[in-house]
Amino acid sequence: MHEFGFELALCSHLEATTDSVVARQLGGTVVAPGNRIVDVVLVEQGPEFDARTRITDQRIPTLAVESDVGVGSAVYWKDAFDCHPERAREVTDWALSVGFFERERGGRGRHGGREYVRRTTRYPDWFSSLTAIENKPDLGTPGDLERQLRTDVSLALFDEVILATESYVTRAHLNRIPEQVGVWRFDPETGEREVVREPTTLTPESTGVELLDRQPLRTDVAFVDAAEKARVRRRVAEKAYGKGWRSYDLPACAHATATADGRPYCEHFGCVVDPGADCGASCTAAEPSDPPAVDLAALRDERSPWVANPAGVARRQVGLDRFR
C-alpha cells in the first residue's frame, strides 16, 4: 500500500479508537512554515471542547482570536488589529463568516458609517495537547526521516511525536531516530496497531530550536520562545478542527466509490486511491462521470467529536450597545 492509503487507514483507525480530532497534512514549524508538513495531527480535547463545537465547524482565524475585539464593547474593526488594513479586513470578514464576530447592531448613524464588531463568545480553552505523527510505511526507504524527527523534537511544538510504520522495527531503526519519538507498527489492512515504543512528552512551554537549513559545513537554526509556539499551536489546532483528514475530492470517475469511512476507492483496481495522483487523464481505466454521492462532512460528524453545522452562538439581544 502506498503512503497515501497508509495515511488514510491510520487516520480512520485513530478516529475510531480515540476521542481526538484527527487531521492530516498540516504545517509543523514556526519560523519557516513550509519547511515541515506533519502527516497526521491528533488534537486532544480540552475542558471547553463542547463550547468550541458550538461556535462553528470551520477554522477560526488566529488573528481574530488575538485581536482587540471583545465580547462586550463593539470596536471599530480597523483599530482592533496590529496588521495591514487589507489583512485586518480579510480577517474581520472571515471571523464574521464563521460566526466568531458579529457586526454592530446600533445602526450606521450611531458610529458615523463606520463598521463596528464584537465577538459572539469568549474563545474557549478547547484543546489540551497536540501529537504529530510521521508516516513511513517502509523503513527501507526512510528519505529525510531522521532530520524531520529531530526537528520535531528540538522545536517541541507538539507535545508528542510518533513514527508510524508498516515495517518490522529493529533495534537499528530505533537507534537512528531520537529516543523521544514514539514508534507504532500499524497494519492498514487489519487496523492493528502495536506500540513499539512510547513517546516521551516534550515541553512546548519552553524555548525550542527550529532547524531552518543544513549545509555540509553549516546549520541554520532559530530559537522560538514559548509564546510564539503557543500562538502557532492554536493555529495548528484550529486548522485541524476545520480541515479534518478527509481533505480530498472523490474522483469523478465511473469506477470511483468510497469505503464506509469515506476513503476514495477504485472498483476497477480494487484499492484505495489518491485522487490527486492516481486518477484523471493519466489513468488507463478512467471513465469520466459524476463523483460518488458521499457526504464526507456527514461521515466526519457521525464518526468524530467534530460537529457539523452548529447553530452558532451569535447573540439575539437588542440594545447591548447601551452598556459600552
Looking at the fold, whether 133 and 209 belong to one and the same domain comes out as yes
Looking at the fold, whether 31 and 137 belong to one and the same domain comes out as yes
Q: Helical H runs in 251-320?
A: 275-278, 296-303
**What pLDDT, on a 0 to 100 scale, did the predictor assign at position 27?**
96
* Spatial distance between the Cα atoms of 126 and 128, rounded to a whole number of angstroms: 7
Coil, strand, or helix at residue 146? helix
Give the list of residues 6+ apart from residue 206 with CB closer than 8 angstroms, or none.
156, 226
Q: Which residue bears the cell 448613524? A: 109
**What pLDDT, on a 0 to 100 scale, did the predictor assign at position 105?**
63
Q: Write out the residue range of the structural domain in which residue 239 sits.
A: 3-49+126-243
Of 219, 243, 267, the residue that ends a domain is 243
Looking at the fold, whether 20 and 163 belong to one and the same domain comes out as yes
**What pLDDT, on a 0 to 100 scale, did the predictor assign at position 257?**
96
pLDDT tens track of the chain, all 324 residues?
589 999 999 999 999 999 999 999 999 999 998 889 999 999 999 999 999 999 999 999 999 999 999 998 899 999 999 999 999 999 999 999 999 999 986 555 455 678 999 999 999 999 999 999 999 999 988 888 999 999 999 999 999 999 999 999 999 999 999 999 999 999 999 999 999 999 999 999 999 999 998 888 788 999 999 999 999 999 999 999 999 999 999 999 999 999 999 999 999 999 999 999 999 888 999 999 999 999 999 999 999 999 999 998 876 443 444 333
User: Strands 116-119, 75-76: parallel, antiparallel or unpaired by DSSP?
Assistant: antiparallel
Looking at the fold, whether 195 and 132 belong to one and the same domain comes out as yes
Looking at the fold, whether 239 and 170 belong to one and the same domain comes out as yes
Strands (E), 206-323: 208-215, 218-224, 256-258, 264-266, 271-272
- Confirm if 199 and 26 have CB atoms less than 8 A apart: no
Looking at the fold, whether 297 and 179 belong to one and the same domain comes out as no
Coil, strand, or helix at residue 254? coil
Q: Which one-letter DSSP state was computed for residue 178?
A: -
Give the list of residues 6+ apart from residue 88 with CB closer than 8 angstroms, or none.
63, 77, 78, 80, 81
Q: Report CA 107 to chain centroid distance, whole Å.
A: 38
> Which has the closest alpha carbon to 205: 155, 168, 276?
155
> Which has the closest alpha carbon to 292: 246, 245, 252, 247?
252
14 occurs within a structural domain: yes
**What pLDDT, on a 0 to 100 scale, did the predictor assign at position 321?**
40
**What pLDDT, on a 0 to 100 scale, did the predictor assign at position 317?**
42
- DSSP letters, 71-125, are SSS-EEGGGG-SS-HHHHHHHHHHHHHTTSEEE--S-GGGGTT--EEEESSPPP-
- Confirm if 20 and 44 have CB atoms less than 8 A apart: yes
- Confirm if 207 and 225 have CB atoms less than 8 A apart: yes
**What pLDDT, on a 0 to 100 scale, did the predictor assign at position 128?**
97
249 occurs within a structural domain: no
Q: Which residue bears the cell 555540509? A: 216
Per the structure, how many domains does the chain have?
2
Looking at the fold, whether 268 and 237 belong to one and the same domain comes out as no
Looking at the fold, whether 185 and 162 belong to one and the same domain comes out as yes
Amino acid letter, 101:
F
Phi/psi-derived region of residue 105, left when phi > 0, alpha when psi is between -120 and 50, beta in every other case: alpha
Looking at the fold, whether 230 and 153 belong to one and the same domain comes out as yes
Looking at the fold, whether 279 and 214 belong to one and the same domain comes out as no
Looking at the fold, whether 219 and 264 belong to one and the same domain comes out as no
